[in-house]
Structure 1
Amino acid sequence: MATISDVAEKAGVSKGTVSAVLNNRKTGPIKVSHETWEKVLVAAAALSYTPNTAARGLRTGRTYLIGVITGEVKSSFVSEILDGIENILNDKNYNIILVKNKKPGDIPEKCRFLNEKKVDGLIVISNMYEDYTGYFTKISFSKPVVFIANNVNMPDIGSVSVNGFKIGFLAAEYLLRLGHRRIAVAEVFGSDRIDGVLKAFSENGIPSGNLVVLEKYSSFEDGRAALDEIIENHPEVTAVIAHSDIVASGIIYEAREKEISIPGQLSIIGIDNIEMSKMLFPSLTTVHQPKSEQGMLAAELVFNMIEGKASENIRLNPNIVGRNSCAVPRKERMIK
């Protein structure tokens, strides 16, 4: 098995230089040129050198483990975020301990488990843990904590999220430009998104009373139920902004079951731009959230905080992806 000395000899550099490169230290007493950096990486690859994490941990007092808590692992949205996290942490020779948390009430138990594993930092993928802000603040006293998909406002806790206000504004603006005036929002949380929709209404001279807010819609089945509620209680609605592409797909499925034309009788916008959204029929107009980028930025942030840098609250901008699920509003007043 190759050692760090073997890599140093092959690259023609010192062991300290090899250590600096393989531990991704771009600042410090040892300055490494780009050319030397490349030489070390090529030598390590040629020798199939693998850093000894345990030995490295003894030297640095770290475990080179990052805990990741998420409420869902099967969704395309979360899997793309996880890919982004892994891409960065793999480059830095860190490993992930992934914990699935089905119920917010289980958070203390999951955090105790990760604490027993002595993780160097914690990444939380969720916007559902507001009741545990004090708990995460306490954790942040001993290790970096970074939230994804939640613009937290807690001292010393980092976050990476997409601007919810702009998500709502862009979706509403898109529909209003098509001529829609009676719009429903099928949401589960996110007053920022609703505020964005209302801002678009205001800028276009549309009364806020024209907005129908349907609450607690977060799944495929919820999407089906949302369409039923619109037909029964709000048949004047001509367009829907769904909480996610998954909810939107439920609406499209139920519309097909009821022989309601999308977008002829009802326009639909999703949120997320997961891979499935372009495969639906009709293909789904959606608000793109940069998912992999959120994961990458969160991993960089937690690593920087481990290195002693300050926490940050990073907000990314969404954009509309126009496809075939939206059109001008129907002429009939009610959905038929």
Structure 2
Amino acid sequence: MITIKEIAQEAGVAISTVSNVLNHPDTSSKASEKTRKRILEIAAKYHYTPCSFGKNLRQGKSYTIAALGRMAFYDAQTASALDGAEETFRNAGYNLLFISTKEGEKLSDCITRLFYRRVDGVLLIEKLNAENREVFRKVAKEFPTVKVFANAEIENVLSVFVDPVSIGKLAADCFHRYGHRKVMLLGDRPSCRDVFLQRMDNYGIKIPQKYIFPDFESFNEGRKAVAQLVEHDLDATGIFCYNDTNAAGVIYEAAKRGIRIPEDLSVLGVGNIDLSRQIYPMLTTIELPQREQGIAAAKTLLQMISGNPNVSGKILYPTLVERDSMGQCLITRRRT
């Protein structure tokens, strides 16, 4: 195995600088960002492992799992899933380490830090896109890897996720049952959106492109959607939000503008987080078994680490929770 001295020689820096960076690989080393990155790249290239891991490595394990992606607790749904995963890992004697991107950093930049840590497995929490798929492939070549929240469809990556087809069908069936034909869609979940649109089309309902807002996902963007509805005279009678926080923003802005929920506008969320029961009117939503999703992902990864040849991914299913934000479509709508 390469030594600190050899890393220092290749990087062209002092041994003390290498030691400082390797002891503080994430943020707090005194070296410049360029130097820090160079040292970590060399360490990863030669699979350098710090001596503090020696005992566990002789046993063949570090007993550490990495969650790779942007800081995980960005919303209540993700937090619930990762809480379930962390508890499952802890009960099995593993620590969960978050390796997240910083401001302006790409996911690929995290790979060096991940390889340096020499973890036993990786839980992928980042969104799927073309660039991230390449990162996921690299990770899966080195570690047992599970993608949570979506179906990765990548070799050697098992996936644990809530079925997006069921979400889209539940949403379309709900709006159709209440008689809504003009429904706005907020959020960027193509697999769910496509099923929703097809299901509505099967009911003889065409949703025009002007009703689809893939970039509107936050609370404030929910408010903005109501502004678009009013100011551009879209005349939608319902709004389907892919997360409950987004739906709460819709309800908040509707109340400010004198739009009654559900008499003037019906709102459907996704998640069933605590907020959905704390707003008025209480939100009708599609419940995602997020904690169970995290537990299932952790159990799957632990089986991969143990070498179980029969381990497979898992699909979970949502349920509709009916409260007060969905109502029968009326012919006349009031806009103020």
Q: Please give the range of the TM-score, normalised by the shorter of the 2 chains.
A: 0.7 to 0.9
2:41 is matched with none
Please list every run of 5 or more consecutive structure 1 residues that lacks an aligned counterpart in the other structure: 1-52
Q: CA deviation at 1:80?
A: 0.6
Matches within 5 A, 1:69-148: 69-71=68-70, 72-101=72-101, 105-148=105-148
Q: CA deviation at 1:209?
A: 3.9
Q: CA deviation at 1:334?
A: 5.7
C-alpha distance in 2 between matches for 1:104 and 1:192: 28
Matches within 5 A, 1:218-233: 218-233=217-232
C-alpha distance in 2 between matches for 1:118 and 1:93: 16
Q: CA deviation at 1:153?
A: 0.7
Identity %: 28
1:48-87 residue CA offsets vs partner (Å, 9 max, x unmatched): xxxxx96872452110000012434142112111111012
1:328 is matched with 328
Matches within 5 A, 1:265-280: 265-280=264-279
C-alpha distance in 1 between matches for 2:242 and 2:266: 14
2:179 is matched with 179
C-alpha distance in 2 between matches for 1:292 and 1:239: 29
1:222-248 residue CA offsets vs partner (Å, 9 max, x unmatched): 111111111122432000000210110
C-alpha distance in 2 between matches for 1:235 and 1:129: 31
Q: CA deviation at 1:313?
A: 3.5
C-alpha distance 210-105 of structure 1, shift in aligned 2 (>3 A): closer
Letter matched to residue 108 of structure 2: P
1:71-129 residue CA offsets vs partner (Å, 9 max, x unmatched): 34142112111111012111110011123335685212223212211111111223244
The answer to whether the 8 A contact 2:88-2:298 is kept is: yes
C-alpha distance 129-254 of structure 1, shift in aligned 2 (>3 A): same
The answer to whether the 8 A contact 2:259-2:334 is kept is: no
C-alpha distance 196-211 of structure 1, shift in aligned 2 (>3 A): farther
1:301 is matched with 300
Matches within 5 A, 1:284-295: 284-295=283-294
Q: CA deviation at 1:184?
A: 0.9
The answer to whether the 8 A contact 1:236-1:334 is kept is: no
Q: CA deviation at 1:314?
A: 2.1
1:201 is matched with 200
Please list every run of 5 or more consecutive structure 2 residues that lacks an aligned counterpart in the other structure: 1-51
TM-score (norm 1): 0.78
Q: CA deviation at 1:168?
A: 1.5
Equivalent residues, number:
283
1:136-188 residue CA offsets vs partner (Å, 9 max, x unmatched): 2122111111111121111101111111122111012111101111111111x
The answer to whether the 8 A contact 1:126-1:150 is kept is: no
**Secondary structure of 1:141's aligned partner:** helix
C-alpha distance 171-256 of structure 1, shift in aligned 2 (>3 A): same
C-alpha distance in 2 between matches for 1:104 and 1:267: 38
C-alpha distance in 1 between matches for 2:122 and 2:308: 15
The answer to whether the 8 A contact 2:172-2:200 is kept is: yes
Matches within 5 A, 1:231-246: 231-246=230-245
**Secondary structure of 2:301's aligned partner:** helix
C-alpha distance in 2 between matches for 1:186 and 1:58: 48
The answer to whether the 8 A contact 1:272-1:288 is kept is: yes
The answer to whether the 8 A contact 2:300-2:313 is kept is: no
2:252 is matched with 253
C-alpha distance in 1 between matches for 2:135 and 2:295: 25
The answer to whether the 8 A contact 1:269-1:285 is kept is: yes
- Whether 1:151 and 2:151 are equivalent positions in the alignment is yes
C-alpha distance in 1 between matches for 2:247 and 2:113: 36
